[in-house]
Amino acid sequence: MGELSHLNPNHVWKHFENICSIPHPSYHEERVAQYVIDEASRLGLDSRRDEVGNVLVTVPASPGRENDPIVVLQGHLDMVPVAAPGIDHDFEKDPIRPYIDGNYVRARGTTLGADNGIGAAIMLGAMEDQSLDHGPLELLFTINEESGMDGAHGLKSDFIKGRLLINLDTEEWGQVYISCAGGGDSIINLPVKRAQSGGSEVALKISVSGLKGGHSGVDINCGRANANKILGRCLASALNAAAFRIVSIQGGSKRNSISEKAEALISVPAGSETDFQRNCYNMAETLVGEFEQTDPGLKMDITRVDSPSGGPDPMTVGSTQAVIDLIIAVPHGVITMSPEVPGLVETSTNLGLIDSSTDRFTASMLSRSAVTSHLPAVKNQIRTIARLTGAEVDEPRGYPGWKPNMSSKMLQIARNVFKMLHGNDPQVKAIHAGLECGLFSEKLPGVDMISIGPEMHNVHSPSEELEIESVPKTYEYLAAILQAVK
């Protein structure tokens, strides 16, 4: 029996625990996709895959409801793989280890993958639940949502028949989402030059850790520290005191996660170590004060290490300055708040990843906006800053936003059902994070959508947690919506 086997509804938690046992980071969803297909086969249901790897399972209507509208339930199969500092976890081979902690399910040392494993589990639970009263269902399991929405991008309009869709990728119980932001990546590539050490230099490693991190859409307005920006500020503070050179630098785990750790290996002239450390620690003390409310675990460590043999030479002073300038200059965080929806982030950007190789420094950023014209404006700002430091920018395909439809049939049903179940109206909201619904609105002409889900916190980070009581509530809500769609 599994750790979660006694939780209700059992058939949902069973599937969630099975999904956790199958490694499924982005680009590696084959085994979990096969699990869905095998479950459909076990139940005698038709399933098929499209050219990009999305899985579709067709569930016949309850007796007497064959002529009701088809409803599509949709979730994605991949997860964001982030391990806590010091945790050795191979996300392509090792299972996620969920456990119960009070009112929540968490994972031991890693992201839980409730985004969107619990959505997929709810769909699988509905697939086998003979007690549900529903019309024809199509269950769409998409691939690689987290790293590019490849499944939604590759979806063809004739793969599914239904045009009423319930997305199960929302992270707040009691909310019905009808809109999301669009997004796009900026990958900055800065050429660097290197030169041999003079023989009288000392190698130091500076690391930033202990941060909460989080989802760059959901948590970007929480004021949390970004380890990449923290490291940049510390290095900039020390540069005037000690003419150090960067050997290597890296930070963050995913471009759509707020960076929770970063480190750099630097080469410092012998005799300048004390000045370097003093300046860095003074800045770190200032930063600890700045982020004491949002990131009380923030810490910075500086250790002397042996100079790496066979590794790259340190960057030149000029390249070191350019790397630090770039980290400092690029924007991160909330850019504008919505003037129409109180509390909604309108436009933001996230410095998710930094990394260095022999000949270049790379920074990966994900920008989001609910305003179509704002997104290219932010990306143009990033391009301009990159150009001033001598860098170039690649911009992979992005994804569109999802415009709200207040006259939506699905929204009206969702409101009525929620009030029937709970005696009050649900909150109807827009989300700053990207949902596949934006692409579905382009791919599926006339589609009518809502997004719901159980309560989750700190997704895309090792602090991710799923509220246990919200899962049966979500399942009950979904079941009642399906019963009401006629």
Rounded CA gap, 187 and 54, in Å? 27
390 — alpha (psi -120 to 50), left (phi > 0) or beta? left
- 39 in Cβ contact with 127 (< 8 Å): yes
Q: Is 78 a catalytic residue?
A: yes
Q: Is 172 a catalytic residue?
A: no
Q: Position 175: which residue type?
A: Q
Closest by Cα among 190, 247, 181 to 429: 181
Residues near 326 by beta carbon (within 8 Å), at least 6 away in sequence: 188, 190, 361, 363, 385, 386, 389, 391
Token pair listed for 236: 């900039």
Rounded CA gap, 385 and 374, in Å? 17
Residue 422: count other Cβ atoms within 10 Å of its Cβ. Answer: 12
Closest by Cα among 160, 154, 141, 169 to 29: 141
Catalytic residue, chosen from 29, 50, 78, 185, is 78
464 — alpha (psi -120 to 50), left (phi > 0) or beta? beta
Catalytic residue, chosen from 17, 29, 115, 145, is 145
- C-alpha count within 13 angstroms, C-beta hemisphere, residue 405: 17
Rounded CA gap, 224 and 478, in Å? 33
- 356 in Cβ contact with 235 (< 8 Å): no
- CA dihedral for 447, 450, 456, 461, sign (positive or negative): positive
Residues near 83 by beta carbon (within 8 Å), at least 6 away in sequence: 89, 91, 109, 110, 111, 253, 462
Q: Active-site residues: which are they?
A: 78, 145
